[in-house]
A = this chain, B = another copy of it.
Amino acid sequence: MRDVAVIGYGMTKFGELWQTPLRDLFAEAAVACLADAGVERGRLQSAYIGCMSSGLFNGQEHLASILCDYAGLAGLAATRVESACASGGAAFRAAYLEVASGASDFVLAGGVEKMNDGADATYCLSTAADQEYEVYHGITFPGLYAMIAHAHMHRYGTTPAQLAAVAVKNHRNGALNPYAQFPVEITPETVLKAVRVAEPLGLFDCSPVTDGAACVLLCPVDVARELGKPVIRVIGSGHATDAIALHDRPDLAAIPVVGLAARRAYAQAGITVADVDFCEVHDCFTIAEIVCTEELGLFERGRGGPAALDGLTARDGKHPVNASGGLKCKGHPVGATGVAQIAELVMQLSGRAGARQLKSPRIGLAQNMGGSGGSCTVHILEVGS
C-alpha cells in the first residue's frame, strides 16, 4: 500500500442554512478544499461523498454525480457512500484506500447533509436504526441513547453532572470555532435544567439538526512532498460494523463496534492510545462521548464520566477530546460529520486551528459512528516529514 497524506480541507459553516441548497453546500466545501490544497480541479480523479439520506431529506439520490457536476467536477469517478452518521468516515476510508491502491493520485473525500429542507428529521434519522424491530415500535435515537445512558449510570454510577460536563466542555471549545453552529459557552445549569428529551437526556445532551458540508483532499505522501505540503499522513484506518438494533447487542452500557474499529486502527498504525495527542469523538449525545472515550481506551470502563467532569478531556487536559466543539456545539450534518472531524485533525496538526489550537499535537484520532453503534470508523493522522 502507498503512504497517503491529507493535503487540504474545506468546510461550510454548519447551521440551519435554509437558503443554501444541498448541491451548493457541497460545491462550497469542495471548491474551498481544492483552493486550500492548491490543486487544480483537473488533477482530481475520483471522489467519495458521505451522505446518510439525501433521498429522504431532499428527494435526491444519484448524489455524487449531481454534486460533482455542480462543483465543476463532472467526469470524475465519483461515488456516494452511506453508513448512517458514519457516512463521512466511510467516505474518507474509501478515498484513502483508492489512493493507497495506486489507482488514483488525487481523491476527494467529502460529506454533506441538508437536514433542514422540509422533511421530518426525526423520521429520516430513525432509518439508521432497525426499521422493523426498533423504529416501527416507536423508538428514535434520543430514546436509544437514553437507554445506553441509563445502563451506564446503573452499572458505573455515571451522573447527570458528568453528562453535562461533556456538553459544557464542547461548547467551551466550539465557541472558538468559526464553523460551529452554536459558538457560545453554556453552564452546567443550562444543561441540567433544560427541557427533557428522553430521560436522562435533556436538550443540551443532544447534538442539533444541522446543514453543512466538509471536504478533504488525499494524495500519496510522495506527491504531498513534491507539492511542498506539510505531510499529514494517514497511519491508521479502522472500520467495523455491528448489529444496528440495540437489543441484538449483549451490553447496553458498551458500544463494542468502537473498540473494534479502534483496535484495527491502532494495529495498522503500530501505536497505542497513549501515543494519541488528541481526539475528535462522535458525541451525538453526551453519553456517546463518555462511552466512546472508554471504548477508544482513553479511560477504563466506567471512568469516562468522571474524566469529563475532572477536565481530563478539556483542551488543556491529558486527553483533549473534541477541540472543535464536537457534534454537540459544532453541529451534526450527519453525512458531513466524519469528514469535518478529519478537517479538524488537519487544522490542528498543521497549526491552523486559531483560538482553539492545541499545543503542537503530533498524532490525532477521529472516531465517527453510525446509529447507536452499528458502524464505526477510526482514523489516525500523524504530522511529520
Contact = CB atoms under 8 A, between A and B. Distances in A.
B243 A69 contact: yes
B103 A62 contact: no
Contact of A66 (B77, B103, B244): B244
Contacts of A81: 79-82
Interface string A63-82: 11110110000111111111
A62 B98 contact: no
Contact of A241 (B77, B135, B371): B77
Nearest to A47: B241
A6 interface: no
Interface residues of A, number: 60
Given A56-B56, A131-B59, A135-B59, A64 B80 contact: no
Interface stretch (A28-36, A122-130, A291-299, A324-332): A122-130
A84 interface: yes
B77 A240 contact: yes
Given A66-B243, A80-B82, A98-B101, 16 more contacts: A1-B102, A1-B103, A60-B127, A62-B371, A62-B375, A64-B83, A65-B375, A66-B374, A68-B241, A69-B242, A74-B242, A75-B260, A77-B239, A78-B83, A79-B239, A101-B101
Interface of A: 1, 21, 46, 52-53, 55-56, 58-66, 68-69, 74-84, 90, 93-94, 97-98, 100-103, 124, 127-132, 135, 237, 239-244, 248, 260, 264, 370-371, 374-375
24 contacts: A21-B132, A53-B55, A55-B127, A56-B61, A60-B127, A61-B127, A62-B82, A62-B84, A62-B127, A62-B128, A62-B244, A65-B83, A65-B242, A68-B241, A69-B374, A74-B241, A74-B242, A75-B241, A75-B260, A76-B240, A79-B94, A80-B82, A98-B101, A103-B237
